[in-house]
């Protein structure tokens, strides 16, 4: 019984949901005259783990029907009924969570029952509320659904007039929603390719995207739907900035800075992440201007509290990690200190210590307190793969700065084994970037501490031809420091 569908489902309920489920099951409307409360109360004794050896059909039956022999048929019937009731409970929770769908269902009923006065006033209130609320990912889908209902309801009256007034707008709203969905699909395919090396021959969304003139789309929106144009234009430009190079990135940035208050936090955060993808694409193409641009997006996100997820009230640990890394690359040490001091309560509890410590490591390095940095790095609790990669790179930097040749060699050997043992977790881009850094680091290390001959100018030029990274920029600084020493000693 422990592995039954009913138990697996009941395990997912929170304490508050369990109380709601008991009330739900007690309702004659939903329980269809069957009393499931005694069964629920018996099962509650095993909540939340449901792993007791007593959790058997025989034990439950004896509690429900004292003195009677277990009847498998009765247990099957009552268990099946309770499972169906639990499913209905989840359906009702989902229905209750979506106010717009509830309103749409009520509109449909009012329309069918021909209470047009009540219907029309209710429709106007929904339409006004929808158009005034901040846009989310489903904004145009909701407009399209509402307009579809409007068409269906209005056809009960003047058929030709309803077609002329309502059908074109219904089509436009559906197209607007399609464009948003299409852009999201194309962007997801780019992410899969760039980050996970996943490609597919199925590229219908990409073909349609390449055939659409997005500039004409935004012009059309400006002309016919001026109240919706800022939302549509901002979304389109942000996605386009992540899918193509050029000045469109700065157009998108200007729009999102100007119209951020038109979007809810979930969509706004997604648009910022999409813009980060555009910055990363340009940076990987060698445009070093986007080292700063990427960090500026982070500052904007933190200033407006866009980075906080509304569901759990925390920032994603990888987002916080990336914010710290980019601030370190930009030498924004004051911002790092502000971020880990003022926003550490925004970090998820299980990752908080790591994020605060990695920010502290950056501050120690900036102050040339390398022993303190090393102490933190060797005791830091790495919970995610990205964290492990970063700590190993920072250890190499710290060993070099401390002048510990043996530790640096050991660190090189360790990171090589780490890459080899985690091939499946590296993308080609991140693996190549790590191997390039290691190769150049080893050359510089042996030159500085072992006297191995090295043409520093050529090494610097080779590094400059690679995709920019904070680690490679650090190598360039070390090369320049050696060159200055050589020049001063001549």
pLDDT, tens digit, 9 for 90 and up, residues 228-287: 999 999 999 999 999 988 889 999 999 999 999 999 999 999 999 999 999 999 998 999
Q: How far apart are CA 471 and CA 435, in angstroms?
A: 11
Report how far residue 152's alpha carbon sits from residue 159's, in angstroms, rounded to the nearest whole number: 10
- Predicted confidence at residue 368, as pLDDT, reads 96
Would you say 265 and 310 are in contact if contact means Cβ atoms under 8 Å apart?
yes
Closest CA to 383 of 356, 428, 353: 353
> What pLDDT is stored for residue 20 in this prediction?
97
CB atoms within 10 A of CB 45: 12
> What digits encode the pLDDT tens for the residues 21-53?
999 999 999 998 899 999 999 999 999 999 999
pLDDT given for residue 190 in this prediction:
84
Which of 68, 3, 77 lies closest to 39 in space, CA to CA?
77
- Say if residue 311 is exposed, middle or buried (CB neighbours under 10 Å; 0-12, 13-18, 19+): exposed
Taking the CA atoms of the chain, what radius of gyration do you get in angstroms?
A: 30
Q: pTM of this prediction?
A: 0.83
Please tell me the predicted confidence (pLDDT) of residue 215.
Answer: 93
Tell me how far apart the alpha carbons of residues 58 and 75 are, in angstroms, rounded to a whole number. Answer: 9
pLDDT, tens digit, 9 for 90 and up, residues 276-285 = 999 999 998 9
Distance CA 107, CA 114 (A): 11
The pLDDT assigned to 159 comes to: 63
Beta-ladder partners of 135: 263
Low-confidence ranges of the chain (pLDDT < 50): none
pLDDT of residue 196: 67
């Amino acid at each position: 019984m422990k592995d039954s569908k009913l138990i697996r489902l009941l395990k997912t309920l929170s304490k508050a949901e369990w109380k709601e489920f008991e009330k739900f099951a007690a309702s004659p409307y939903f329980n269809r005259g069957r009393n499931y409360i005694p069964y629920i109360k018996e099962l509650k004794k095993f909540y939340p783990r449901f792993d007791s050896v007593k959790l058997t059909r025989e034990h439950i039956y004896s509690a429900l029907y004292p003195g009677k022999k277990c009847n498998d048929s009765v247990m099957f019937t009552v268990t099946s009924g309770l499972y169906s009731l639990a499913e209905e409970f989840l359906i009702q929770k989902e229905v209750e969570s979506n106010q717009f769908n509830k309103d749409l269902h009520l509109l449909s009923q009012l329309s069918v029952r021909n209470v047009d006065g009540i219907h029309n006033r209710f429709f106007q209130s929904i339409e006004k509320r929808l158009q005034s609320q901040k846009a989310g990912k489903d904004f145009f889908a909701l407009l399209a659904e509402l307009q579809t209902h409007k068409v269906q309801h209005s056809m009960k009256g003047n058929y030709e007039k309803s077609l002329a007034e309502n059908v074109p707008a219904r089509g436009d709203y559906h197209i607007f929603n399609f464009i948003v969905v299409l852009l999201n699909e194309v962007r997801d395919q780019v992410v899969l390719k760039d980050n996970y090396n996943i490609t597919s021959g199925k590229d219908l969304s990409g073909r349609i995207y390449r055939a659409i003139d997005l500039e004409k789309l935004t012009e059309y929106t400006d002309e016919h739907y001026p109240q919706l144009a800022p939302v549509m234009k901002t979304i389109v430009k942000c996605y386009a900035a992540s899918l193509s190079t050029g000045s469109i990135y700065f157009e998108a940035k200007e729009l999102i800075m100007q119209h951020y208050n038109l979007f809810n936090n979930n969509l706004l955060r997604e648009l910022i992440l999409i813009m980060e993808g555009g910055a990363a694409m340009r940076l990987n193409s060698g445009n070093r201007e986007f080292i700063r641009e990427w960090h500026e997006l982070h500052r904007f996100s933190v200033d407006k509290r866009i980075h906080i997820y509304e569901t759990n009230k925390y920032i994603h640990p990888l987002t916080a990690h990336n914010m710290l890394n980019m601030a370190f690359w930009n030498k924004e040490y004051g911002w790092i200190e502000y971020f880990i001091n003022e926003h550490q309560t925004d970090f998820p509890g299980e990752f908080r210590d790591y994020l605060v410590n990695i920010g502290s490591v950056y501050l120690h390095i900036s102050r040339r307190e390398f022993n303190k940095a090393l102490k933190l790095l060797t005791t830091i609790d790495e919970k995610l793969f990205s964290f492990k990669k970063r700590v190993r790179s920072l250890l190499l930097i710290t060993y070099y700065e401390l002048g510990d040749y043996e530790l640096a060699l050991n660190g090189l050997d360790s990171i090589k084994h780490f890459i080899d043992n985690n091939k499946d977790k590296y993308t080609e881009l991140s693996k190549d970037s790590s191997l390039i850094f290691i190769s150049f680091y080893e050359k510089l290390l042996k030159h500085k501490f072992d006297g191995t001959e090295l043409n520093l100018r050529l090494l610097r030029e080779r590094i400059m031809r690679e995709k920019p990274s904070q680690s490679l920029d650090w190598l360039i600084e070390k090369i320049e420091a050696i060159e200055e020493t050589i020049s001063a000693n001549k």
